[in-house]
Amino acid sequence: MDLVFDRVNKRYEHREALSDLSFEMRSGEMAFLTGHSGAGKSTLLRLLLLLDRASSGEVSVGGRPLSKVKESRIAKYRQDFGVVFQDHKLLADRSVYHNVALPLEIAGFTKRDVDRRVRAALDKVGLLDRERASPDALSGGEQQRVGIARAVVARPKILIADEPTGNLDPQLSAEIMGLFSAFNSVGVTVIVASHDLALISRMSQRILTLDRGRLITLGAGSRGINE
């Protein structure tokens, strides 16, 4: 699904979080979103997920202006997204299997479909043999893989990751980024917010750099909205 930010501004009470932000990502692309703390990365992601709305300008996803999405339709809109968090947000009282199954159960999938999809997702992240384990029994890298499996189990069109390697060592970080590239290679649009410039510079993907709410570089191979 194409993503378009067209002269987007987001103002909170005491600050301008995004200012005149314009860029485009085509369906099936992968990009890294970077910038210092407070640069606007999280705000950009919140606008995409309709956790916030732009103060002016327009964000469009799949040709659909988000300003036109009614509050009652936001939950359905978010079904196209998978989200990976830095702190995993796993439920300690559920097994790995049931953590990954949760979004499917909420969406009303049959038990057979849940079982098939959960095991396929765990297999993709290399944790099929840990499906019965408690999250507390896993390493940090394994917990992040469970979070990725949960994010992709419903086969989203867009995968968003917010600082997914912030708590991992360099080797594990590279492995996690490799997983995102693998999902991108099968057509999933992927956006990864990250401070790890050394790692993302080796990934040969688009880099969107924010500074105080403004886009200061699109990186190699990137496009402005009017190109």
Q: According to DSSP H, which parts of 125-169 are helical?
A: 140-152
CATH (domain of 151): 3.40.50.300
Q: Give the pLDDT score at 196.
A: 84
Domain containing 75 equals 3-217
Q: Which of 87, 115, 85 is nearest to 101 (CA)?
A: 115
Say if residue 227's pLDDT is above 60. no
Whether residue 141 lies inside any domain: the answer is yes
Whether residue 226 lies inside any domain: the answer is no
Task: Over range 29-34, report the average pLDDT.
Answer: 94
Whether residue 224 lies inside any domain: the answer is no
User: How far is it, in rounded angstroms, from Cα 61 to Cα 73?
Assistant: 14
Whether residue 92 lies inside any domain: the answer is yes
Number of separate domains in the chain: 1
Cα angle 82, 88, 90; round to 5: 95
Which pLDDT tens digit goes with each residue over 37-52? Answer: 889 999 999 999 999 9
Burial class (CB in 10 A: 0-12, 13-18, 19+), 63: exposed
CA atoms within 13 A on the CB side of 118: 22
Whether residue 225 lies inside any domain: the answer is no
Whether residue 16 lies inside any domain: the answer is yes
Q: Give the pLDDT score at 218.
A: 61
